[in-house]
Amino acid sequence: MREPVTSGTLLAWYDQHARDMPWRVAPQDRARGVMPDPYRIWLSEVMLQQTTVAAVKDYFVKFTNLWPTVADLAAADDPEVMAAWAGLGYYARARNLLKCARVVATEHGGVFPSNRDSLQALPGIGPYTSAAIASIAFDLPETVLDGNVERVMARIHAVETPLPTAKPELMELAQALTPRERAGDYAQAVMDLGATICTPKKPACGICPWRDGCEGHASGFAPELPRKIAKKAKPTRRGVAYVLRNSKGDWLLETRPNKGLLGGMLGWPGSDWTDEPSPAPPVQTSWEPTGIEVRHTFTHFHLILDVMTAQVDTPPDKGVFIPHQSFRPSDLPTVMRKVFDVAKHRFEQN
């Protein structure tokens, strides 16, 4: 007879194997009464949405060095925050980050609310993030269901219903295991289990603390779970990016509209991104094609950009010249940095 899967078994494992995270309070410290800073938990959870821990760590450290408290972040200038976020992707998160920080600072006295409903009423905080903050920061028995937890639940209960159809069932199973004591540690434990042992490919079942109670392992098809409905192929769109310098070497850039993809970020003036983009140069001049395509993949489509360059002092129809001494390519989102790398090489050749 298999041993039952319990939160206590996983917590004992977590006490010995918890990952070291810059936003996390170690279980031994938590046992001594040290509680996490809700600001740091909120910031990390927003950054971790659709982004890996490895990609987030350096950004988290940078943000907390620049803005140690939610009040500091609320008082920051929008362009500085957007520049610090550049490269992390999903830029609506950065805009909501500022909105949320300012609501907490002005309407909650700089203190994050400690219940899930109030947390979820804040800008940019949905069901998952509110549960994570309530659980990890305030030790409330809320159930956190991310991709790691879904995978663990599907395997230990041998759930063969494919995702996303299986989400409600997996939530019920996860809720049944969420303890009332040490809920924050448990939430992090089950995520750690999925990230380090119950991995998408080649799970390390031999060292899993829940192996003896895992129905997927007993049946022999745990690595095949969770099953997923096949995704539709992503469409490909095209566009044109125009990189212009003046005789002083300054760069023409524009701030993209707040709404839409890469909203609020610096970028190169360009065309629309469609099947057949219409030319939209910021000035009428002799544009030189680089002959090099920039390729980038967003969540819902692939993008191919043709890069055009020119050097004139004609006042542009859109955008502003950024002095070359203060221009930092690192302030650009990834696709715009790729364009810069192509254009810079062409300017260096001329």
Phi and psi at residue 277, in whole multiples of 5°?
-65, 145
- For residue 71, the Cα-to-chain-centroid distance in whole angstroms is 22
What tokens appear for 107 in the block? 């309407």
Cα–Cα dist 57/48, whole Å:
9
Contact residues for 308 (Cβ-Cβ < 8 A; gap 6+): 240, 241, 242, 243, 281, 287, 288, 289, 290
Strands 302-311 and 288-297: antiparallel
Instruction: Give yes or no: 276 in active site.
Output: no
Selected catalytic residue, list 3, 45, 107, 142:
45
SS3 320: strand
Which residue is listed with tokens 């920051």? 76
Terminal C-alpha separation, the chain: 75
CB 71 within 8 A of CB 106: no
Kindly list the catalytic residues. 45
